[in-house]
Amino acid sequence: MSSARPALLYTPAQRARRDASRWTLVQGVLAPVQFFIFLGSLYLVILSLQTGEHTDWALASVVLKTGVLYLIMVTGSIWEKVVFGKYLFAPAFFWEDVVSMGVLALHTAYLWVWWQGEWTAREQLWLALAAYASYGFNAGQYIRKLRMARLQRPSSTTPGPAGAQASL
């Protein structure tokens, strides 16, 4: 019985580029900012669907969330180019990028119907929930990759007590 190790997420050179890039910090800041905007917006969307209150705030919050999504997608593409040499669909993040395209499509559809004003507010909010469900799945994909990256950190062999090796 063989135990196959999963492919490394980053080569040593890619890890060095990732660690040296300012875009890594940008992504590290924007991701939680977007997530907290998402949570606030999700609350407003659900509240509006349940009670009919604060509908204008809920609709506007989805526009704000979408703007931050665009920002994180553009900066994430730059990050991917710096680290992997491709703006999108680098093998290490291929499926995350595929799902991200769906997330962008749903959020963009929301902006379109919001701008056109031909859908009812309730219909717009249901579309926002569909966009948010796709975002939640995609966020889970990226969180999984973060965990993989942490588990695949290279070990540092530093002598410890009685010749033990410590890892980072």
Inside any domain, residue 159: no
Inside any domain, residue 158: no
The gap from C-alpha 156 to its chain's centroid, in whole angstroms, comes to 29
Number of domains in the chain: 1
What token pair was written down for 19?
Answer: 């660690």
Inside any domain, residue 3: no
Rounded distance between C-alpha atoms, residue 74 and residue 80, angstroms: 10
Which residue has 């290279």 as its token pair?
Answer: 154
Q: What is the pLDDT of residue 139?
A: 93
Give Cα separations from 102 to 41, 132, 136 (angstroms).
19, 11, 12
Rounded distance between C-alpha atoms, residue 32 and residue 153, angstroms: 22
Inside any domain, residue 45: yes
pTM here is 0.82
Question: pLDDT tens for residues 96-152?
Answer: 999 999 999 999 999 999 999 999 999 999 999 999 999 999 999 999 988 888 888
The parent domain of residue 51 ranges over 12-151
Question: pLDDT tens for residues 94-111?
Answer: 999 999 999 999 999 999
Residues 128 and 60 sit within 8 Å (Cβ to Cβ): no
Inside any domain, residue 33: yes
Degrees (nearest 5) of the Cα angle 19, 24, 28?
A: 125
